[in-house]
Amino acid sequence: MHRFFVAPELLTDPGLAPDAGLAPARGATTFSSQEQAGDVVAHTGGAGSNLVPLPKEIAHQVRDVLRLNVGEHLILLDNSGDEVVAAVARSSKAGVEVHLLERRPGKREPGVRIVLCQGLLKSARFEWVLEKGTELGVSVFAPILCRRSMAGLEDAGPSKQQRWQRIIQEAAEQSGRSRLPELLPIRPLMHALNDIPPGTLAIMPWEEEHNRTLYDVLNSAASITRVGGGEVLSGEGTLASPSAEVLSGEGDASVPSAVESPTHPSPTVVLFIGPEGGLMAEEVALAQRHGVQVVSLGARILRAETAALAAVASVMYEYESVF
Ligand code: SAM
């Protein structure tokens, strides 16, 4: 079913007070009777029928691009994580109205909260990370300025930010997500390091790290987190949070588990990926002083955008066993 993010005020829950939310949302079209001549009208009632006019841009998509007929279903999203199933009630040159049929929880949001701190890249490469990262399940994109970040990238004006938001929204709609990944303002690496939530698993792939791999860190962290999640571990009982004795043979004491934070029920993993020019040794040392785990992604030097998606996919593999 086609999915569209819309302004939350357009989607009041069906079954709420009949006329709640039936007021046309801002920017939505309202129809005069004379515009309806010759139009296909199937809706069955006015106030209280959860009939809402679609914003112009989406109405154009539904009517002229997707050519959805009256009665056909689509999904509207208000970024709450829910999906609202709607049916085309009326479609005309003047606009498209839909019936809100049902609100239900979205099923495709990731079970791990990935915060991707990406060293700012040339625009096309960064946009690629936004699109593919959204498909793979990133929850927060945090573009960071590193020592070797190319000059001029930081002044990404409002039009660029809007374009990045649109890329994220289209990728979220296409991949079936019901929440839009956040896009944070561009910040220096140091600020992003200071913002790592306490106890979070933070990982920095570095092209000059040759001992410890992403697998090593994820494997130990995920096994701790799984245990931390209250599952019984081979008869050793339920554990509120990982402790030394849990780690006997399971995982590595220096790897913090990706703990749930009060605001986010799922574990959080923060990934730091360098820019085109790579990360400098002092940046890596600074990150280590902030408890970041430095890892190798293998012997080959990956382009920054490849490294970002390889790391995201690996975290999803470990925490969601999605592949
Ligand atoms: N010059 C290339 C480019 O234009 O993309 C490489 C840039 S550099 C290697 C990009 C970042 O990707 C690094 O700072 C690191 O975070 C990550 N990376 C790439 N290959 C890696 C590897 N084999 N192990 C760990 N990190 C890697």
**Nearest 5°: phi and psi at 17?**
-45, 130
pLDDT at 247 over 50: no
Pocket-testing residue among 150, 207, 273, ligand 1, by greatest number of atoms within 8 A of Cβ: 207
Q: Ligand 1, atom 6: nearest CA belongs to which residue?
A: 303
* CA gap 79, 106 in Å, rounded: 10
H or E element at residue 91: strand 82-92
31 pLDDT tier (thresholds 50, 70, 90):
very low
Q: How far is CA 31 from CA 34, 68, 90, 135, in A?
A: 8, 19, 11, 37
Percent of the chain with pLDDT over 90: 64
Please work out whether the CB of residue 309 comes within 6 Å of at least one atom of ligand 1. no
Report how far ligand 1's centroid is from the alpha carbon of 252 (Å): 25
Q: How far is CA 58 from CA 65, 74, 150, in A?
A: 10, 11, 37
141 CB burial (10 A radius; 0-12, 13-18, 19+): buried
pLDDT tens digits, 190-240: 999 999 988 899 999 999 999 999 999 998 876 555 444 444 444 444 444
More confident residue, 262 or 271: 271
Q: Ligand 1, atom 10: nearest CA belongs to which residue?
A: 304
* CA gap 215, 311 in Å, rounded: 10
What is the arithmetic mean of pLDDT over 112-133?
A: 95
**2-16, 156-170, 286-300: the lowest-pLDDT one:** 2-16
The predicted pLDDT at position 244 comes to 42
The predicted pLDDT at position 221 comes to 74
14 pLDDT tier (thresholds 50, 70, 90):
low
Report how far ligand 1's centroid is from the alpha carbon of 47 (Å): 58
What does the mean pLDDT of the chain come to? 82
Report how far ligand 1's centroid is from the alpha carbon of 9 (Å): 43
Residues with Cβ within 8 Å of residue 15, at least 6 apart in sequence = none
Report how far ligand 1's centroid is from the alpha carbon of 222 (Å): 24
Nearest C-alpha neighbor of 146 from the set 18, 307, 274: 274
Q: Ligand 1, atom 9: nearest CA belongs to which residue?
A: 278
More confident residue, 12 or 81: 81
157 pLDDT tier (thresholds 50, 70, 90):
confident
pLDDT at 29 over 50: no
**12-16, 38-42, 107-111: the lowest-pLDDT one:** 38-42
105 pLDDT tier (thresholds 50, 70, 90):
very high
Residues with Cβ within 8 Å of residue 245, at least 6 apart in sequence = none
The predicted pLDDT at position 316 comes to 94
What is the arithmetic mean of pLDDT over 269-295?
A: 97
Radius of gyration of the chain (CA): 23
More confident residue, 10 or 41: 10
* CA gap 137, 42 in Å, rounded: 38
The predicted pLDDT at position 303 comes to 96
Please work out whether the CB of residue 207 comes within 6 Å of at least one atom of ligand 1. yes
Report how far ligand 1's centroid is from the alpha carbon of 301 (Å): 6
* DSSP characters over 169-228: HHHHHHHT-SSPPEEPPPEEHHHHHHTPPTT-EEEEE-TT--S-BHHHHHHHHHHHHHHH
Report how far ligand 1's centroid is from the alpha carbon of 250 (Å): 30
pLDDT at 145 over 80: yes
Counting atoms of ligand 1 from 1, which one is nearest the CA of 273?
16
Q: How far is CA 134 from CA 45, 48, 161, 185, in A?
A: 39, 36, 16, 17
Neighbours of 182 (CB within 10 A): 12
Pocket-testing residue among 149, 297, 302, ligand 1, by greatest number of atoms within 8 A of Cβ: 302
* Assigned token pair, 320: 């969601």
* CA gap 173, 166 in Å, rounded: 10
* CA gap 135, 144 in Å, rounded: 21
Please work out whether the CB of residue 167 comes within 6 Å of at least one atom of ligand 1. no
Please work out whether the CB of residue 302 comes within 6 Å of at least one atom of ligand 1. yes
> Which DSSP symbol is given to 165?
H
The predicted pLDDT at position 156 comes to 74
288 pLDDT tier (thresholds 50, 70, 90):
very high
pLDDT at 28 over 60: no
Contact 164, 130 (CB under 8 A): yes
Please work out whether the CB of residue 215 comes within 6 Å of at least one atom of ligand 1. no
